[in-house]
Amino acid sequence: MKEHKTVVGKKLIEILMFSMYPDAKIIYREYIQNARDAIKDAADTDILNQLKDGHIVVNIDNYNRKITITDNGIGVPVEKVEPVLLNIADSTKDGINSAGQFGIGRLVGGGYCKKLSFKTSFQGEKYASEITFDVEAARAILDDDADRRSAAEVIDAITEIELYNEEEDKHYFMVTLDEVRPEYPELLNQEAISDYLRDVAPIDYQFVFKNNLVQTKIPTDYIELQKQAGHFKVTVNEETDIRKRYGLKIDGTQDAIDDLAYFKIADDNYGLLAWGWYAVTAFSGAIPATDKNRGIRLRKHNILIGSPDLLNQFFKEARGNNYFYGEVHAVHPKLKPESSRSGLAPTPEAIKFQELLKDYFLNLYNLYYLANSMKTATRDVVAAETEKAQITEQEDVPEVTRKWETANKKLEKATNKAQTEAEQKVAEIYKKKLEDIIKNPPIPTGTQPSNVTTTAPSVSTTPKQLLDKFDVLKIKYSEQEVAIVRRAFKLLRDNCPSAQTKLIDELTGKVIKDLSK
């Protein structure tokens, strides 16, 4: 047995090149991840003055079925090109300061094209090196059962290296997928790839979100953590650099983002494991799947780990994550992605992190349930105020008074449940909504010129015509949306026989009730 020489079979190439990932778009994440590390190395060694001078350019040539991903990072010296680019699972990256760690992802692009090449130049050298993998030759070898060459022998057989003259001050790395296979049209869809990178790439936030929320809401002790997460300039087909989609509201529910809540996941033995943020809103309802920002996502080195809904499993209810926008940034050195980046490798630190994250997410479970209680109570108060406004001072309607008192007690009870800072902010959001509706009810057309300013009447003396049954919808919908619903029912009433007024009223009440849930 001592004379046995271990063989790493050619099937390894099949795994790394043709079976590594289930989603073709992941190749972009892999190459951008490597570009990110190269740019960081260039900044750390003063080849780049600072990190923000780094640039990752994705070029998608649909006509010629060609993809290039280029960075102005550190590059690879000529004498290291072959060992760095041809050796498998021999990377010196530690996965701590670098996003890459295994040295197995570079071949993955070969599964989607006929030729895969890497061209690089190192500052101070007069040459650029290019290694090309003949993917069609690799497929032929792998399909030939009689061919018993090892994985290393296959690599040697399908690669060529060339040198080119280059300017000494140049430093870059370029990945090229030539003749992209027709069965993967999504790889050549610029819009789809840009959208994918907005989820996974280590990029910055949109200016409106960054300037109005991140920079103004972030606590002092999180500023350095945010800086360490890092962001890089990524452009697709030389357009404006792409950024994360977050804005000033939740797209799927139209809830305004009132604040950002920051948190840390730490352990007495392991120290800081992760930190994160989530958007504080009215949480008026679950965010629909059409909203591509939905969910708190897990990131390491600001690169997405797993799918956007990976953290659903740590909520008391899996749907709980659907109420939030947010991010969790893993920072502990032992919190490392699996080789496929579908989740975290099962280290003791990762297990503890998941336990603590599950505990923390219980607070978020309580938060969106509190928001629902506040929404319901506020809706009932508005409905009671509306009914109260419909009666004259001479009328005595005890049932309406009781309903008004019950609704206000319900609102007070829900408000008193707000204990954490985020819960108190949510309570304030709904109290402000209520105040706005009561103090600024709509003025019916023709009752007053638009340029006349008046003081809003108090609740007890609100005239009958100033409140209507549609006002309750303002708890959940914008003024414009409520106006659309109001106009729709006005048209319905105006075009139906007067004998059907009762039916229209019943239909109106049912729709309002359903919409305000």
CB 150 within 8 A of CB 8: yes
Q: For the purposes of burial, counting CB atoms within 10 Å of the CB of 393, is it exposed (0-12), middle (13-18) or buried (19 or more)?
A: exposed
Residue 233 pLDDT grade (very low, low, confident, very high; cuts 50, 70, 90): very high
Cα atoms in the 13 Å half-sphere on the side-chain side of 488: 11
CB atoms within 10 A of CB 226: 18
Contacting residues for 159 by C-beta, under 8 A, at least 6 apart: 86, 131, 132, 133, 134
Residue-averaged pLDDT of the chain:
86
What number does CATH give the domain 11-188?
3.30.565.10
CA atoms within 13 A on the CB side of 463: 11
b/e string for 199-224 if b means 16 or more Cβ within 10 A? bbbbbbbbeebbeebbeebeeeebee
| pLDDT in the model for residue 120 | 96
pLDDT confidence band for 489 (50 / 70 / 90): confident
Q: Is 458 helix (H, G, I), strand (E, B) or coil?
A: coil
Cα Rg, the chain, nearest whole Å: 30
- Residue 7 identity (one-letter amino acid): V
Ramachandran angles phi, psi of 127, nearest 5°: -130, 155
C-beta of residue 383 within 8 angstroms of C-beta of residue 513: no
Cα separation, 318 vs 311, whole angstroms: 9
Q: What are the tokens at 305?
A: 């780990």
Q: How far is CA 461 from the centre of its chain?
A: 47
How many whole angstroms separate alpha carbon 301 and alpha carbon 278?
Answer: 18
Residue 80 backbone class (left: φ over 0; alpha: ψ -120 to 50; beta: rest)? alpha
What is the DSSP secondary structure assignment for residue 123, as one 8-state letter? T
> What's the rounded Cα separation, in Å, for the pair 58 and 239?
10
* Model confidence at 455: pLDDT above 50: no
Q: What is the pLDDT of residue 101?
A: 47
Distance of alpha carbon 379 from alpha carbon 472, whole angstroms? 6
Q: Encoding tokens for residue 297?
A: 């996502």
- Contact by Cβ (8 Å): 264, 272: yes
The structural domains of the chain, with segments of one domain joined by +, span 11-188
Containing 113, the helix (H) or strand (E) segment is: strand 113-121
Q: Tokens in use for 347? A: 């280290």
> What pLDDT shows up at residue 177?
97
Q: Tens of pLDDT along 125-144?
A: 999 999 999 999 999 998 99
How would you label 422-432 residue by residue, b for 16+ Cβ within 10 Å and e otherwise?
Answer: bbebbbebbee
pLDDT of 461 higher than 80? no
Over residues 282-333, the pLDDT tens digits come to 999 999 999 999 999 999 999 999 999 999 999 999 999 999 999 999 999 9
Is the per-residue pLDDT at 466 higher than 70? no
Whole-number Å distance between alpha carbons of 488 and 484 = 6
CA-CA distance, 271 to 278, in Å (whole number)? 22
Confidence (pTM): 0.82
Three-state secondary-structure class, residue 463: coil
For the sheet containing 172-180, what is the strand order? 159-165, 127-134, 113-121, 172-180, 66-71, 55-61, 233-236
Which residues on adjacent β-strands are paired with residue 115? 134, 178
